[in-house]
Structure 1
């Protein structure tokens, strides 16, 4: 290969990589900017990641979904497969959104104006026979990274008063954490870029 072709190939490869990264960032920013906002109640779990710094692990009020909320569980199905789930949320009187219904796969109808759908994945092996049992979907919103040194103080505060996370939900149910809330006060807000 000649030097000129090598330089052109390297430039094309660099542009493809930059384009791919820009596409990922722009997609996240679009959800944060235009997504439907919902507020979830959270409790603390653990505040430190040795590689990435302080964070709070978010155990929120939709972390566990009762099996009885899942409308399309086949009668012959005893345990979950590795599959997608949609959880329909409704705003409660306290301002926090709660799970109202769920479906494996897709929701049968779009969410109404006072509702929002969040998409997640359910791991294989959850018991579906007992309607009082719960499953734990993964929505990709289980950690919120904080400035260094803030994790322990916030975790301690979470034990004595209500905290929440404000989510932005895309129309397909993809969720991004928009802000960490201390009651009505925004503590940290995610930048768009």
Structure 2
């Protein structure tokens, strides 16, 4: 009889731990969306369909291709990138879209100014850091946006003829969450907090 009680108690403790972990993940995302600094990035469409999750847009940004010469802290003898983090400093342009102005492997040496924002990403090992005109492609975790079923092809077609953007929310540490898909200054689809 005592073994049965321990089993039930163990199962309940495990269930509450899992529930707490999932709640923490959802609350973290919602906190960034609610309180993060908003930036708007221009996007480029790629492909709008996932058999398991429905319509989506694969997003490319100006920050998806960082010129190696923009990365301020590359050692002179460094030939290729390590599997590491990257911070890209953004500044708002006259057109309302934010563009990269500087980048660092690891962390930024100084905090972003009031009119700037930092976005954190990840760089895989093996990117060539030597050649003139070379770029690297960081992953920020914001490369897909899921749409209601049947909307992907229409949005992708529209993206080819007029400017679209993604409104991001950035946490203080540079973690990004997609907040909304924008058609010029009109919000098409907004991500719910929960």
TM-score range, shorter chain: over 0.9
In structure 1, the residue matched to 2:85 is 84
Checking the alignment, whether the CA contact within 8 Å between 1:66 and 1:131 is kept in structure 2 is: no
Check whether the contact 1:141–1:177 (CA below 8 A) recurs between aligned residues. Answer: yes
Q: Which residue number in structure 2 is paired with residue 177 of structure 1? A: 178
Alpha-carbon RMSD across the aligned residues, in angstroms, is 0.8
TM-score, structure 2 normalization: 0.98
Aligned-pair distance for 1:6? 1.6
8 Å contact kept, 1:120–1:138:
yes
Any stretches of 5+ residues in structure 2 without a counterpart? none
> What are structure 1's unaligned runs of at least 5 residues?
none
Render the CA deviation track for 1:51-79: whole Å, top value 9, x for unaligned: 11100000112110111110001000011
Shift of 1:2: 2.3
The equivalent of 1:50 in structure 2 is 51
Q: Which residue of 1 aligns with 2:28?
A: 27
Q: Which whole-Å CA distance do the structure 1 matches of 2:177 and 2:89 have between them?
A: 16
The alignment covers a number of residue pairs equal to: 193
User: CA separation in 2, counterparts of 1:129 and 1:37?
Assistant: 34
| CA positional deviation for 1:171 | 0.4
Task: Tell me which residue corresponds to 1:115.
Answer: 116
Q: Distance in 2 between matches of 1:120 and 1:68?
A: 17
Distance in 1, Cα, partners of 2:182 & 2:53: 21
User: What is the Cα deviation at residue 162 of structure 1?
Assistant: 0.2
**TM-score when normalising by structure 1:** 0.98
What is the distance in 1 between the residues matched to 2:6 and 2:73? Answer: 57
Q: Is the 8 A contact 1:80 1:128 kept in 2?
A: yes
